[in-house]
Structure 1
Amino acid sequence: MSFDQDEGPIEGPLILQRPRGLEAPLLIEIPHAGLELPSELAASRALGRSARMADADLYVDELYEGATELGATVLIARYSRHVVDLNRAEDDVDPSIVPEHPSPRGRLARGVIWKTSIDGLRLLDRPLRFEEYRERIARFHRPYHRQLRAELDRLRERFGFVILLAAHSMPSHGRSVSGAALVRRADIVPGTRGRTSADSRIIDHIDAFFRAAGYSIRHDDPYRGGYSTAHYGRPAEGFHAVQIELNRGLYVDERSFERLDPGFERLRGDLRALIDSLVGLRL
């Protein structure tokens, strides 16, 4: 750790929080906890609050509160992933969503711009014009990743390495391999793209921490790590990325969207302990 002067939160489409005193080579990004909509989309019936809450990583920002006190830097997106999904590449767009896009790379309904919610609700009244798509990318996607890249570069330059925790949550249940039944997912799913996005010592440390705390773990299943993990995780260059998916059944009522205690407080305390252990990790 090193001493650093707090520069205060940086806001806009994102909130950047730097530690006030001791700083560590740890950055926590929270891209999917936001619920806000830009003013031009606020009246859209397709983007109702309940649908946004169902698809948000609810309360993940609150679960990681206090991380800056331990030396971590935290980056939080304010806007809903129904506006732009920050865990996708900017060209990950289905041509049916942006027909004028010159080189769309996606073929899914939930790329960087979502066509439908996870529950199948339509989120777009019509396909987007290319200019509308480009404006969303310029206003929300690029500023977030520009800031994320800058913070990673700053911390790697200062410490010689940096750990990125991509903080997410997931529905408590998902389809089995056969697709015939819903099965409960593990409590914690660390995603590292087949153990390629971070040094094995970091991956093993995170796995061992959660197991010792009594949580069930399934590595890379069903989430291997999205755009941030794949794009920024380059261990040979000192950039280590691990996506952490928390089972929502541990801390939130998935019907009412209310926090569940004591599960919430237990998980928040355990995440604080994880952060405390990571800021002291040396490679």
Structure 2
Amino acid sequence: MDTFTLHTGRTPLLVSLPHDGSLIPADIAARMQPAARQAPDTDWHVARLYDFARDMGASVLVPRYSRYVVDLNRPPDDVSLYPGQNTTGLCPAVMFSGEPVYLDGQAPGAGEIAERVERYWRPYHQALAGELERIRAVHGRAVLWEAHSIRSEVPFLFEGRLPDLNLGTAGGTSCSPALAARLRTVLDGQSRYSHVVDGRFKGGHITRHYGRPGAGVDAVQLEIAQLNYMDEDDWTYAPERAADLQAVIRRLLECTL
């Protein structure tokens, strides 16, 4: 079963989009609340937003299945990435709205969760690790760019409105200080989008696990407020808004090469 696509690039950059997938197998969807079957917490259109990255020579890894099947950006032991804060788990039981994903009594048990990890989670991470190793062998270094997006206001997860661009470096541990400084310079050099570094979203499991700057692998996460490139209510892509945002993202990615 094909659970992801991998485009192999020619530069040290790998763009990973672990929440871009929206498919839900029929047997799982049948046990979900009607609202959850639409996979509302998808990082909608992020692959389209980053489509220029291939022309830049980046490798691009995109899953097919929804985070509701299994969240590729959570650790397999499901330890919370943000202790003390509301979040969602490896096989989410609640949506970002705080409402249940599953019908009463239909949430997956430990055995089913383990099966989903093997079927969906592990192949993505094997491809991710393998591509990073290939890149590092060719170029002597690798850069992992974690591409994410989320509604600008999600009261269940954070107060108020999220900044437009949320850069995460796991508190400065997942990438080199030099790369972090270059990225900050780009963000500080533009005035269209509000931004923060290591704010509410410091980087998920992928950024934290694979970012090893001392071993030649830098990892950075960018969480984008979705209203900057799409309609948050009907989930439609807004090409003109997206084009302006893409120009800034391109400058950020150029810093990594």
What TM-score do you get using the length of structure 1 for normalisation? Answer: 0.81
Q: Is the 8 A contact 1:51 1:117 kept in 2?
A: no
Structure 2: any 5+ residue segments left out of the alignment?
none
- Number of residue pairs aligned between Structure 1 and Structure 2: 252
Kindly tell me: are residues 176 and 118 of structure 1, through their superposed partners in 2, closer, same or farther at Cα, counting changes over 3 Å?
Answer: closer
1:129 aligns with 2:116: no
* SS, match of residue 278 in structure 1: coil
Query: Shift in Å at residue 184 of structure 1?
Result: 2.1
**1:246 corresponds to which of 201, 209, 224:** 224
Kindly tell me: are residues 47 and 139 of structure 1, through their superposed partners in 2, closer, same or farther at Cα, counting changes over 3 Å?
Answer: farther
Cα distance between partner residues in 2 of 1:48 and 1:134: 25
Residue deviations 1:136-181 (CA, integer Å, cap 9, x gap) = 111100000010000111111221111100000122135599x7xx
Kindly tell me: are residues 47 and 164 of structure 1, through their superposed partners in 2, closer, same or farther at Cα, counting changes over 3 Å?
Answer: farther
Q: Is the 8 A contact 1:176 1:183 kept in 2?
A: no
Q: Is the 8 A contact 2:97 2:154 kept in 1?
A: no
Partner of 2:126: 146
Cα distance between partner residues in 2 of 1:129 and 1:123: 14
1:46 aligns with 2:46: no
* SS, match of residue 69 in structure 2: coil
**1:161 corresponds to which of 138, 141, 144:** 141
Cα distance between partner residues in 1 of 2:21 and 2:190: 28
Q: Percent identity?
A: 33
Cα distance between partner residues in 2 of 1:129 and 1:172: 32
Cα distance between partner residues in 1 of 2:20 and 2:242: 15
Partner of 1:65: 51
1:37 aligns with 2:24: yes
Q: Is the 8 A contact 1:192 1:225 kept in 2?
A: yes
Kindly tell me: are residues 203 and 93 of structure 1, through their superposed partners in 2, closer, same or farther at Cα, counting changes over 3 Å?
Answer: closer
Query: Shift in Å at residue 132 of structure 1?
Result: 1.4
Partner of 1:75: 61
**2:171 corresponds to which of 191, 194, 198:** 194
* SS, match of residue 33 in structure 1: coil
* SS, match of residue 246 in structure 1: strand
Query: Shift in Å at residue 39 of structure 1?
Result: 3.4
Q: Is the 8 A contact 2:163 2:194 kept in 1?
A: yes
Give runs of aligned pairs for residues 180-191 of structure 1, distance below 5 A.
182-191=159-168
Cα distance between partner residues in 1 of 2:156 and 2:73: 24
Which has more radius of gyration?
A: 1
What TM-score do you get using the length of structure 2 for normalisation? Answer: 0.88
Q: Is the 8 A contact 2:164 2:195 kept in 1?
A: yes
Q: Is the 8 A contact 2:36 2:101 kept in 1?
A: no
1:26 aligns with 2:8: no
Cα distance between partner residues in 2 of 1:150 and 1:267: 30
Query: Shift in Å at residue 48 of structure 1?
Result: 4.2
Kindly tell me: are residues 175 and 204 of structure 1, through their superposed partners in 2, closer, same or farther at Cα, counting changes over 3 Å?
Answer: farther
Cα distance between partner residues in 1 of 2:247 and 2:202: 25
Q: Is the 8 A contact 2:207 2:221 kept in 1?
A: yes
RMSD: 2.6
Cα distance between partner residues in 2 of 1:224 and 1:149: 21
Partner of 2:4: 14
Cα distance between partner residues in 2 of 1:264 and 1:188: 13
Could you list the runs of 4 or more consecutive aligned residues of structure 1 that deviate by over 6 angstroms after TM superposition? none
Query: Shift in Å at residue 40 of structure 1?
Result: 2.2
1:206 aligns with 2:183: yes
